Amino acid sequence: MRNLKIITAYRGTAYHGFQRQANALTVQEVLERCFSKVLNEPVTVTGCSRTDTGVHANMFCLNVKTGSNISCLGFTRGVNGELPDDISILSCEDAPVDFHARFDCKGKEYIYKMHCSESKDPFAPDLTFHYRRKFNIESAKKAAEYLIGRHDFKSFCTDSTNVSTTVRTIYSLKIENSGDSVITLVKGDGFLYNMIRIIVGTLIDVSEGRIAPDDMPHILEARDRMCAGRTAMAHGLYLNRVFYSEEEMFAD
């Protein structure tokens, strides 16, 4: 039995997230259908994360166990020939039989893209959040500094019922802008449900003056979702990178 480690990228617009659902089309369902056809056997894929409806991925890792002897190159070419244009296999390699895409993951990096202009971007309406105001970068950066480190992020989580702890570590939180584009990059050891979108939404509220940068410690201490800001729209969010060693996570 082989265990294939596969890196994929996808545009999440047409899908109800990654994880398979009974009544909606998901990325996992499409991948399993195409994998099974190429491998000539029914397979189940294990993903590194559960992205929400409309969320995208630049690098999403998954593993699948198979009895097929197909080469990794043959598998990649065959599956890409079957997949729709909004999903792509970037790489495939043989992994140890006990490799698990989710449980072996040491950390992840997400990016959130905003187009800050009165005029919308007609070329990426579902790939970037259209924010019709000027974004206050300096205030947002001051607020973001309070979130770096190990904290209880319950205030930045929509639903914590399925996790044993809401404590997470954010290694870096950067906000960059170029012209009308504002990109937030967040790297950490793990993230709660809607955590990145609530962080970005809270930074938007900081930009608008609804929340002061110095309020962030109090929001963390409250452990109350109602104390944080809005939840930013899903279509601006991307799973950017996944890390399976501390060396690669801290390489840059």
pLDDT in tens, 8-37: 999 999 999 999 998 899 999 999 999 999
**Beta-bridge partners for 150:** 169
Q: Is the pLDDT of residue 181 over 80?
A: yes
User: In this predicted structure, what is the pLDDT of residue 8?
Assistant: 98
With cut-offs at 50, 70 and 90, classify the pLDDT of residue 7: very high
Rg from Cα positions in the chain: 19
The two tokens of residue 227 are 């104390």
**Beta-bridge partners for 108:** 188, 242
What domains are defined for the chain? 2-95 (3.30.70.580), 107-249 (3.30.70.660)
β 129-131/107-116 pair status: parallel
Residue 94: CA atoms inside 13 Å, Cβ hemisphere, count? 10
The stretch 27-52 carries a mean pLDDT of 95
The two tokens of residue 211 are 């929340």
**By the 8 A CB rule, do 147 and 141 touch?**
no
The two tokens of residue 206 are 């900081």
Active-site residue 52, yes or no?
A: yes
